[in-house]
Amino acid sequence: MKRLLFIVLAMIATITSFAQQKDVTSFLGIPVDGTKTEMKQKLIAKGFVPKKIGDFERLEGEFNGHDVNVYIATNNNKVYRIMLVDKNYVDEAQIKIRFNRLVEQFENNKQYISLDKYTLSDDENISYEMTVNKKNYDAVFYQVPNMEKADTLALQEKIRNELLSKYTEAELKNPSEEITKEILNATTKIFKEMIFMKPVWFRIGENYGEYSIAMYYDNEYNHANGEDL
C-alpha cells in the first residue's frame, strides 16, 4: 500500500512540475505545428530545398541517408503532418531490407515506443500480398512525451475530473488502497493519451512493381476531428 501510494505521489509530483508548454510531435527537432509558411522556412533552414510546379509545392533533401520529397499537410492553416517519400524506387528485396532497417532504428531509439512488432520475415511475399490481398505494410511508433513540455493545468484538471467522476474530494484526500490504485490508473491513462497524440509511422508504397517508403510525422492535436462538419 505504502509503495503504491509513493509511486502515485511521484507521478503526480512529476506532472505538477511540468512547464506550461505544448508537447507535440517533432521532426528534426522542429515541432509539427504552426503555419505552413513557418514550417517551410524551418525546413529550409535544415537544408531542404523548396520546389514548385504550378500550385504543387514540396521540398527536397536528404533524410536518414535517403533522398526524399517532403510535403507539409495542414488543417485550418495549422500543420498536422510532415510527410516524407523516397525519391528513388527499389525492388522487393531491397524494400524489405529498408523497412526492417527502419523498424530496427526506431526500436533502438529511446525517443520512441511501439505497441507491436513489425519486422518482416524473409519469406514474406510483399508483391503478392499488396497486389492480391491489398495488404498495407505499416509500422507505427510514438514519440515519448517530453516531460518539460506539457500543459500543467490541463493535465491536472484532466486527472482530477477523471477521479471526481468516481470519488469525492474527501475520499481523494485520504485515499484507500482501492482509490490509490484508481489514481495510478487514471494517471497512467492520461500518459497513454499523451503518447497517442504523437505518432510517427511509415508505409511501403508500390508503383509498377517498384517500391518506396513514405514516412509520416503526425501532430494529432491539429488533425481534423470533424470540427468543420
Residues 74-90: pLDDT tens digits? 999 999 999 999 999 99
Q: Which residue has the higher pLDDT, 4 or 192?
A: 192
**25-39, 140-154, 176-190: which has the highest mean pLDDT?**
25-39
Classify residue 222 as exposed, middle or buried by CB count within 10 Å of its CB (0-12, 13-18, 19+).
buried
As a whole number of angstroms, the distance between CA 156 and CA 26 comes to 24
Q: Where are the beta strands (DSSP E) in 64-116?
A: 66-75, 78-86, 112-113
Q: What share of the chain is helix, strand, coil (3-state, %, to 5)?
A: 35, 30, 35
Residue 10 pLDDT more than 80? no
pLDDT at 136 over 60: yes
Tell whether the torsion through CA atoms of 164, 142, 123 and 210 is positive or negative: positive
For the chain, the average pLDDT equals 88
Residue 65 dihedral angles phi and psi, to the nearest 5° = 85, 10
Distance (Å, whole) CA 202 – CA 213: 7
For residue 160, count other CB atoms closer than 10 A to its CB: 13
H/E segment holding residue 52 = strand 49-53
Query: Which residue's C-alpha cell is 530496427?
Result: 104
Residues in the chain: 229
Lookup: cell for 122:
524473409
**Residues ≥6 apart with Cβ < 8 Å to 73:** 79, 80, 81, 82, 83
Q: Which three cell numbers stand for residue 61?
A: 533533401
Q: Given pLDDT bands bounded at 50, 70 and 90, which one contains residue 20? A: very low
- Give the contacts of 70 (CB within 8 A, at least 6 positions apart): 43, 48, 58, 59, 60, 61, 63, 82, 83, 84
Q: What single-letter DSSP state applies at residue 90? A: B
- pTM for this model (two decimals): 0.82
Could you tell me which residues are beta bridge partners of residue 59?
Answer: 50, 70
- State phi, psi for 219 to the nearest 5 degrees: -105, 100
**Element containing residue 202 per DSSP (H, E):** strand 199-207
pLDDT for 91-100, tens place per residue?
999 999 999 9
Q: What is the pLDDT of residues 200-224, one digit of tens each?
A: 999 999 999 999 999 999 999 999 8
pLDDT of residue 113 exceeding 90, the answer is yes
Candidates 139, 128, 154; CA nearest to 213 is: 139
